[in-house]
Structure 1
Amino acid sequence: MPSSTGKLEINVTSEINGYPIAGADIRISYTGIPDSILEETTTDSSGQTEVLELDAPPVEYSLDVTSDQQPYSEYTILASAPGFETVSIAGAEILGGVTAIQNIRMRPSDSADSREERFVIPAHTLYGNYPPKIPEDEIKPVNETGEIVLSRVVVPEYIVVHNGSPRDSTAQNYYVKYKDYIKNVASSEIYATWPANTIRANVLAIMSFTLNRVYTEWYRNQGFDFTITSSTAFDHKWIPERNIYDTISVIVDELFADYLSRPNVRQPILTQYCDGRQVQCPNWMTQWGSKSLGDQGYSPIEILRYYYGDNMYINTAEAISGIPSSWPGYNLEIGSTGAKVRQLQEQLNVIAGAYPALPTLNADGIYGPATAEAVRQFQGVFGLPQTGITDYSTWYKISEIYVGVSRIAELT
């Protein structure tokens, strides 16, 4: 079977202020053969590399439930820049036919002999061996003692991920942006080559599960200081510094405020699943099964109802934390005017201060060709479809980057 190629794009930013790092030196080698450099490139003013083509196994390996071949190739990425600690990531996973996105955050170095931060990405959950999920009730009891503090479902800006099982006190806690967490988990637990509606169904299940942990304060009510763990026996696989994929990233940006609910139940449903190949789980979704249904043309809600029953619904959170202002409820495009357009223009100007490739605008509240072009260029830098129209995904991506570079968001 002929091999294929996958693509890789690397984004490098400063851990301190979120600004892009221009002129970072990037070297790529096969994991296990670090001395033979395959590609060497540098980042542009937006902290990005060109899109690189790299060898990958045949796409069929990630589409065939019976294949026991590793469906991705593994590369080591070394990033260095003056004034920053070098970062090495071994095991970046390149799948055929999709673009892998490797985000690298570099820590400023206060000495001439900078250390090297090293990360090793373990096997994908569908390929490696991981403990299966320990079953739990999908709806948590709500005590009248005031243990549950949230009266409505809110998408958090950050969650705290405990990188180990709950009682492993040596495991580190990470502050992770909610959307980044979901993209990481989905990239770790399904293959980005799968049908878009299969990806949507799995992303919805991951988000609903995560928001149940947030809403019920599941771990904090047990005395822990985190939101969720990276143990597959308890939660989902999350891997520090792993690469994500374009097909998954776009879908998370589109759906990130959604979750799954049942009638007359206020909390998001703890939607559990298993792979359906190494592990079977009656009454739960199986990932390989969801792939088969996606191949047959099932919609996301049809896939979810096939496994979880007909009384499962897609709901949208009432609030999104950490944003200056919510989406107006309609697309902003050429001809739009008003306060929301002016706010958008002002936010784009702040972002352009950190990303010099983006143009600055006259913040006049009129969405003309210059604003459309600035939005189109922003979409190109941040991996969104380049339409020049400020839709739901684009509005919240602009909000997120604005908050990141202006640091108005306090970590709560």
Structure 2
Amino acid sequence: MDYIKGVVHQELDGFTEDEAIRANIITFVSFTLNRYYSEHYRNQNKNYHITNDRSVDPGFIERPTEQEPLVRNTDAFFSQFVEYPGHPNFPFLALFCPSGCANEGKLDQAQSRVLAREGKKHTQIIKSFYGENYNTRSAAFIIINKKIESFLGPLKFGDSGGRVNQIQTYLEVIGKNYNMQVFRKAIEENGYFGEKTVKAIKTFQKNILNRAGTQITGVVDQATWYKILTRYYIAIQSPSRNDASDSPTQQIPTSAEPKAPAPTGELVVSVYKKGDLTPIPGTQVEISDMNGNIIRRLQTDRFGNIETITLPALPTEIRSEEAGGAQPAQGKYIITVKHPHHEQVRVEYVKIHASSKATPEIHLSPTRMEDMSPIKTIKIDDSKPAVGKQFENPYNISQLSIHPLSFYSTYEFAHGYEPNPHPRIGLVIPDTIRLHLVVKKDLITGKWIRTRARTIEVPFVEYVKGVLHKEINGFTEDEAIRANVIAVVSFTLNRYYTDFYRRRDQDYHVTDDTSIDHDFDEHHLANAQEPLVRNIEEFFNKYIEYPGDTFFPFLSQYCSGTGVKCAEKKQMEQTPAREMARRGKSHLEIIKHFYGSNFETTTAAQIVIHNELYSFIPPLKLGDTDKRVLNIQHYLDVIGKKYDQAFLSAAMDENGLFGDKTKEAVTLFQKHYMKLSPGKINGILDLKTWYALLTRYLKVVNNGNQRPMGAASLPLHPAGYYMPHPQYGLVCKTFLTLYGPRSYCYYTYFWEMNHSYYQY
């Protein structure tokens, strides 16, 4: 309350128009509650709720010279706030300015005075700036001295009951502390608002509230109630009365609150040109609730991003696979993107999860004004519960070839290198996955989701993103997400390298039939979640290997662990994995818990992108210097020139040294293009940053038909084809399992870790 008064006296000094003051007070309260309950600064690892930096927060005076109209209206309206349309009880981030911002969806303080002088009420003033669908609401409780107090409605002569008795009790304590008999007399009416209580209230309003004339009403309005309440707490803490035995309120612990705050999450929308992903600044982005009520209207900056905003979110435990068709509307939004020179796009059912950040990307195709087509609509579908999972024996690997010569020819392929023992073989992440989308029906409504099957080709990492945005959308626990990433990668690599479907005369690697494979979200970019994207890009090169140091990806099956159980079959259950992560278990501990203590994870050696081979590199940081740093600087330079962002191109000035300019470029790339949360931005070129930078670089050069730098062209040759250096061949392995020895062979790009040719 003192904070709001400090803000009001700083921001509204000299205001005398009651309705304008009230509109501004409600705005300040709403803004402050939003900052508090969204933990805006705590999410940035800062130990405060708000600042007095007037460029981002309200101004504040610590010890203001109190002005009567400001104090009176603050006492009367500090419990009211603006709520988000369609989301009752959650305070709107009500922005404002001194003047000149009425057309920006902010409250213009100078203009609010004009409207008040024209006879407008405070609610009308608020609606005139924020929109007709914005309403005000009163808070239910306030915490004072670690106690919950409920706001009272007006009490007047003739009323009776517990609330009246509560006020009389407060007045009695104040009367004893101030030695004012008139206050102590009210308790004699024992819950009835009679003449003694009226007299006590009028005396309080005159002597304590400094009211005069018609403002002395004898009615307990909010301002009077709050002042009585605060004077009561001063009285019970005074030396003459240091116990609270008369308190009719409920004692609560320090950390308790009257009501759990509504969950919130963050949203930042990015708009890029389809193809080379050039940012499109000045794009209008409208965020609406699922009823179509516009909540915010924003514009993209030079990076193609809107400002990060906080909105009501889906509760932590809501998960699409489990909830089926009965999910709440809160936390789901419609995003509409408009630009005069690009197509218009509307995305429905974008999700924001509690304590998380949604980072949807919208890719627009250019268009001419005269060729404006109807708005393109994308619907984010919810996963539906799987009827059941078909268990596969993960050790029953069909043998492509078990002829002994197949095994030996693999090592003859290594150009005379005869290791003893045999060198390890590391798999390469394939370029794309051919995904068969099956016919699907909604199990809840019975409606067809997809009436015709089709096959699409998806880049490997994008496939993993599509799977996990469908199956664990809403997970925020890093270690649980990582365990799921590794399981999906391992399963998919197994399907790919065993040619599971191709050996059944099917021209694809995997399906989205959830009874045997994984679900898949075709529109995962428009529903991207920062924790999922960040962990996928950091762990997509890891997989579970079969026991025995075989380096072959395990068929890591899993299920939700809620509607479908599978732990007894040595498969991972996703929701229990989440609980394990909350208890501090690492992703490897989660994997071993479900699949077995003898299972380990390993790392792929390289990845193929656009038929070019790229080796994974160790993290690069300030002070490092070699050709890999030069490659990274080249990537930054190409992107910077294409996007007209000199801070990226400046890294090239350091010519192979990871200096301050390179660190700044990497840091800003992580912030503006990867949209990492503040605590995850480190200026280090780790795997996720390398992959995000490389793939964006390739979008630019491939769109411009340029030759990428830092890649090895990858000719495809049949098994046994002799080359000076091994790149592609038939690999055969034999290992012991619970079912006896198993041999398998597969065609793959491979890397012999002990071969000097592959060492830096």
Relative to the length of structure 1, the TM-score reads 0.87
Asked if the contact 1:161/1:175 (under 8 Å) is kept, the reply is yes
Cα RMSD over matched residues? 3.1
Report the CA distance shift for 1:255/1:403 in structure 2 as closer, same or farther (over 3 A). same
Asked if the contact 1:376/1:386 (under 8 Å) is kept, the reply is yes
Asked if the contact 2:332/2:349 (under 8 Å) is kept, the reply is yes
- Tell me which residue corresponds to 1:3: 262
The one-letter code of the counterpart of 2:666 is: V
Residue 620 of structure 2 corresponds to residue 332 of structure 1:
yes
Report the CA distance shift for 1:275/1:358 in structure 2 as closer, same or farther (over 3 A). farther
The one-letter code of the counterpart of 2:686 is: D
Q: In structure 2, what is the Cα distance between the partners aligned to 1:70 and 1:345?
A: 46
Q: Which of 436, 461, 465 is the equivalent residue of 1:179? A: 461
* Higher Cα Rg, which structure: 2
Shift of 1:324: 6.7
Q: Which of 267, 273, 282 is the equivalent residue of 2:552? A: 267
Residue 576 of structure 2 corresponds to residue 289 of structure 1:
yes
Shift of 1:135: 2.1
Identity of aligned residues (%): 30
The one-letter code of the counterpart of 1:397 is: A
Shifted more, 255-264 versus 359-368: the winner is 359-368
Report the CA distance shift for 1:71/1:119 in structure 2 as closer, same or farther (over 3 A). closer
- Tell me which residue corresponds to 1:18: 277
Shift of 1:226: 3.0
Residue 354 of structure 2 corresponds to residue 96 of structure 1:
yes
- Tell me which residue corresponds to 1:392: 687
Q: In structure 1, what is the Cα distance between the partners aligned to 2:542 and 2:465?
A: 14
- Tell me which residue corresponds to 1:40: 297
Q: In structure 1, what is the Cα distance between the partners aligned to 2:510 and 2:282?
A: 36
- Tell me which residue corresponds to 1:258: 542
Q: In structure 1, what is the Cα distance between the partners aligned to 2:473 and 2:372?
A: 39
Q: Which of 199, 209, 219 is the equivalent residue of 2:481? A: 199
Asked if the contact 1:209/1:272 (under 8 Å) is kept, the reply is yes
Report the CA distance shift for 1:145/1:49 in structure 2 as closer, same or farther (over 3 A). farther
Query: What is the SS of the residue equivalent to 2:264?
Result: strand
Query: What is the SS of the residue equivalent to 1:45?
Result: coil
Q: In structure 2, what is the Cα distance between the partners aligned to 1:38 and 1:256?
A: 36
The one-letter code of the counterpart of 1:27 is: E
Q: In structure 1, what is the Cα distance between the partners aligned to 2:696 and 2:317?
A: 36
- Tell me which residue corresponds to 2:592: 305
Cα deviation 1:234-283 (Å, max 9, x = unaligned): 32121121312111222112111011111344531121111121111222
Cα deviation 1:363-401 (Å, max 9, x = unaligned): 522222111111111111213432222223222222121
Residue 340 of structure 2 corresponds to residue 82 of structure 1:
yes
Q: In structure 2, what is the Cα distance between the partners aligned to 1:336 and 1:137?
A: 47
Report the CA distance shift for 1:81/1:212 in structure 2 as closer, same or farther (over 3 A). farther
Query: What is the SS of the residue equivalent to 2:496?
Result: helix
Q: In structure 2, what is the Cα distance between the partners aligned to 1:261 and 1:169?
A: 37
Asked if the contact 2:607/2:616 (under 8 Å) is kept, the reply is no
Q: In structure 2, what is the Cα distance between the partners aligned to 1:8 and 1:40?
A: 13
Query: What is the SS of the residue equivalent to 1:344?
Result: helix
Which runs of 5 or more residues in structure 2 are unaligned? 1-259, 404-409, 411-424, 441-449, 717-760
Report the CA distance shift for 1:17/1:60 in structure 2 as closer, same or farther (over 3 A). closer
Asked if the contact 1:90/1:121 (under 8 Å) is kept, the reply is yes
Q: In structure 2, what is the Cα distance between the partners aligned to 1:286 and 1:71?
A: 27
Asked if the contact 2:343/2:364 (under 8 Å) is kept, the reply is yes
Question: Equivalences for 1:28-67 in 2 at 5 Å?
Answer: 28-31=287-290, 33-34=291-292, 36-59=293-316, 61=318
Query: What is the SS of the residue equivalent to 2:342?
Result: coil
- Tell me which residue corresponds to 1:144: 401
Q: Which of 386, 392, 401 is the equivalent residue of 1:130? A: 386
Asked if the contact 2:435/2:458 (under 8 Å) is kept, the reply is yes
The one-letter code of the counterpart of 1:383 is: K
Report the CA distance shift for 1:71/1:60 in structure 2 as closer, same or farther (over 3 A). farther
Asked if the contact 2:264/2:312 (under 8 Å) is kept, the reply is yes
Residue 385 of structure 2 corresponds to residue 115 of structure 1:
no
Q: In structure 2, what is the Cα distance between the partners aligned to 1:173 and 1:107?
A: 24
Q: In structure 2, what is the Cα distance between the partners aligned to 1:165 and 1:304?
A: 32
Shifted more, 10-19 versus 304-313: the winner is 10-19
> Which gives a bigger RCO, structure 1 or 2 (Cα 8 Å, sep 6+)?
1
Query: What is the SS of the residue equivalent to 1:85?
Result: strand
Query: What is the SS of the residue equivalent to 2:579?
Result: helix
Asked if the contact 2:606/2:613 (under 8 Å) is kept, the reply is no
- Tell me which residue corresponds to 2:151: none
Report the CA distance shift for 1:379/1:109 in structure 2 as closer, same or farther (over 3 A). same
Shift of 1:154: 1.8
Q: Which of 276, 280, 284 is the equivalent residue of 2:565? A: 280
Q: Which of 436, 439, 442 is the equivalent residue of 1:162? A: 436
Shifted more, 261-270 versus 3-12: the winner is 261-270
Shifted more, 237-246 versus 372-381: the winner is 237-246
Query: What is the SS of the residue equivalent to 1:153?
Result: strand
Report the CA distance shift for 1:215/1:81 in structure 2 as closer, same or farther (over 3 A). farther
Residue 619 of structure 2 corresponds to residue 345 of structure 1:
no
Residue 603 of structure 2 corresponds to residue 316 of structure 1:
yes
Report the CA distance shift for 1:188/1:181 in structure 2 as closer, same or farther (over 3 A). same
Q: In structure 1, what is the Cα distance between the partners aligned to 2:508 and 2:374?
A: 29
Q: In structure 2, what is the Cα distance between the partners aligned to 1:233 and 1:317?
A: 28
Q: In structure 1, what is the Cα distance between the partners aligned to 2:366 and 2:454?
A: 21
Report the CA distance shift for 1:162/1:4 in structure 2 as closer, same or farther (over 3 A). same
Report the CA distance shift for 1:353/1:224 in structure 2 as closer, same or farther (over 3 A). farther
Cα deviation 1:44-67 (Å, max 9, x = unaligned): 2222222121112443556xx99x
Asked if the contact 2:439/2:452 (under 8 Å) is kept, the reply is no
Length, aligned pairs only: 401
Residue 667 of structure 2 corresponds to residue 379 of structure 1:
no
Asked if the contact 2:359/2:675 (under 8 Å) is kept, the reply is no
Q: In structure 2, what is the Cα distance between the partners aligned to 1:215 and 1:165?
A: 25
Report the CA distance shift for 1:171/1:109 in structure 2 as closer, same or farther (over 3 A). farther
The one-letter code of the counterpart of 1:297 is: G
Residue 655 of structure 2 corresponds to residue 364 of structure 1:
yes
Structure with the higher fraction of residues in helix conformation: 2
Query: What is the SS of the residue equivalent to 1:7?
Result: strand
Cα deviation 1:184-211 (Å, max 9, x = unaligned): 3223212544432111111111111122
Asked if the contact 2:499/2:509 (under 8 Å) is kept, the reply is yes
Q: In structure 1, what is the Cα distance between the partners aligned to 2:317 and 2:496?
A: 37
Q: In structure 1, what is the Cα distance between the partners aligned to 2:453 and 2:279?
A: 30
Q: In structure 2, what is the Cα distance between the partners aligned to 1:4 and 1:87?
A: 28
Asked if the contact 1:153/1:215 (under 8 Å) is kept, the reply is no
Q: In structure 2, what is the Cα distance between the partners aligned to 1:119 and 1:172?
A: 19
Query: What is the SS of the residue equivalent to 1:288?
Result: helix
- Tell me which residue corresponds to 1:241: 523
Shift of 1:88: 1.8
Cα deviation 1:82-114 (Å, max 9, x = unaligned): 333222221111111100111222233466122
- Tell me which residue corresponds to 1:188: 470
Shift of 1:71: 9.4
